[in-house]
Amino acid sequence: MPIEVKVPSVGESITSGILGVWSKPDGSYVKAGETLFEVETDKVTSEVVAESAGQLKHLAKAGDTVKIGQVVASIDEKAAAPAEAAPAKAEAKKETANGTAKASRAEASAPVGAAARGKHADDLSPAVRFQTEEKGIDPSSIKGTGKDGRILKGDVLAAAEGGAKGTAPAASTSQPAGERTSRRKMTPLRQKIAARLLSAQQETAHLTTFNEVDLSNIMALRTKFQDRFVKKHEIKLGFMSFFVKAVVHGLQVVPAINARIDGDEVVQNHFYDIGVAISTEKGLLVPVLRNADRLSFSGVEKEIAGYAKKARDGKITLTDLDGGVFTLTNGGVFGSLLSTPILNPPQCGILGMHTIQERPVAISGRVEIRPMMYLALTYDHRLVDGKEAVTFLSTVKEVVENPAAVLLEV
C-alpha cells in the first residue's frame, strides 16, 4: 500500500496553509530525504521531505489551501527505480575520468528544462526554484553558498539584488495580455500581518514620540575597533547591537514599557527578549533575541545574522518568533527618513530606526555636520504615560550617543 504524505503540524494554533511549488513532478521517482514540496502558513514556511523512496503521486495542486494532516501525495515503495539512473551515473563518472566536457553532455542528456535550471537543479528546494522562476534567474549563473555548493534562497535574492542576468522573466499567468489589473490570493503570512496590524490599531491606544540621535561616537568606535572585532568574533560590529543594548537599558530604567495588558491585569516582564524585525520577500518577521541583557555585542550581532539567514532561507520557526517584550524595526535600511511604527501586540512598545543622514546641528554654540538618525517610539498609552515614553526614548538616545555608558553601567 502506498505511503501517505501528509501536511505536517507546524504549531498548535496553525490549522491550514498553502501548498507551495512541487519540487518533484507527478509520477517521478523520489529518494528518501528529498524535498517534495513547501507548505506556507501564516507564521512559518516548512519543507516536507520524502520518508522513503518510490514513485510520487500528487493528490493536491501547488497553490491549494490544505489542512494540517491532509494527505497531499502518496509514494509507491514497490515502484522500480528508473533503469536509466545507473547508466547515467556511470556515464558521468566516465566523462569525469576522461576529462570530457561534462557540463555540455549533462545538459544534452538531461530531461527537458533540467539544463535551464543549472548544475545544482537536483538540489533546488521549492522556495529556491520558485524564486528563480519568479525573478527570471538562471540557477546555473548563481554561486551556491550551501553545503556542496547547493543554492540557497538567499543566494537567489542576492543575485536578484545584484542585478544578476539570467533568462528573461516569464510573463505572469495571472495577468492576460491587455488586462489593466490582475488578482492573486494573499499568502497566509500576509493575511496574518494584515490582521495583526489592523488589530493593533483598533485595540491599543497607540501614540508615537520622536527624537534624534548623533551617531558620531558609534561610528568612531566602529572605525577604531572594526578590524579587531572581526578578527576576534568573525562578524562585523553593526549599529543594531548598540541599539539593542540601549533598549535593554531603557527598559531597565522605565519598567512600565517592559509590560503588557492581559484583561484587567498588567503583566510585568522581568526578562529582556528583544524582537528585531527582518524583512523577507514574503513579509515582515520578528525573531526574538533571548535574554538580550546577557548577550555581548558580538552575541547580538551573531544572533541577528543567524536569524537573517534563516529568514532568507525560509527556516524561521515558531519558537524563533514567540515571546518578545519589545521590538526594534529599522526602516533606515530602505532609506526611510521618518515613520510611525505600529505596535507588535501584546507588546506595548516598538522603536523605529531610520536612515542616517549628515545634517548641520548646533554643538556648543557652533554648527557642525553630524551623522544623525531620527528615532520613533510608538507605545500603548493605556499602560505607558507620556513622561515614561519620553524618558525611555531619552535614555536610548543617551546610551547611543555615549556607548561607553553601557560598559560602565551608568
Write out the H or E segment, with its range, that includes residue 265: strand 265-268
Give the C-alpha separation, 293 to 337, whole Å.
29
Alpha helices in 37-182 (DSSP H): 85-98, 102-109, 114-117, 126-135, 153-161
Q: In Å, what is the CA distance from 227 to each residue of 218, 237, 242? A: 15, 9, 17
Give the C-alpha separation, 410 to 403, whole Å.
10
Give the C-alpha separation, 285 to 305, whole Å.
14
> Which of 407, 166, 141, 209 is CA-nearest to residue 296?
407
- For 5, the 3-state DSSP assignment is strand
Catalytic residue among 26, 64, 122, 385: 385
Neighbouring C-beta atoms of residue 173, cutoff 10 Å: 7
Catalytic residue among 76, 138, 233, 381: 381
Give the C-alpha separation, 332 to 283, whole Å.
17
Say if residue 255 is preceded by a cis peptide, omega within 30 of 0.
no
Report the DSSP pairing between strands 278-280 and 274-276: unpaired
Say if CB 362 and CB 342 are below 8 A apart: no
Give the C-alpha separation, 107 to 128, whole Å.
20
> Which of 201, 33, 220, 5 is CA-nearest to residue 122?
33
End-to-end CA distance of the chain: 69
Whether residue 381 lies in the annotated active site: yes
Q: Which residue has the cell 502558513?
A: 41
Largest CA distance in the chain: 84
Identify the burial level of 245 via C-beta atoms within 10 angstroms of its C-beta, where 0-12 means exposed, 13-18 middle and 19 or more buried: buried
Q: C-alpha grid cell for residue 74?
A: 502518496
Q: Where are the beta strands (DSSP E) in 1-100?
A: 3-6, 16-19, 29-30, 35-40, 45-49, 54-58, 65-67, 71-76
Positions annotated as catalytic residues are 381, 385
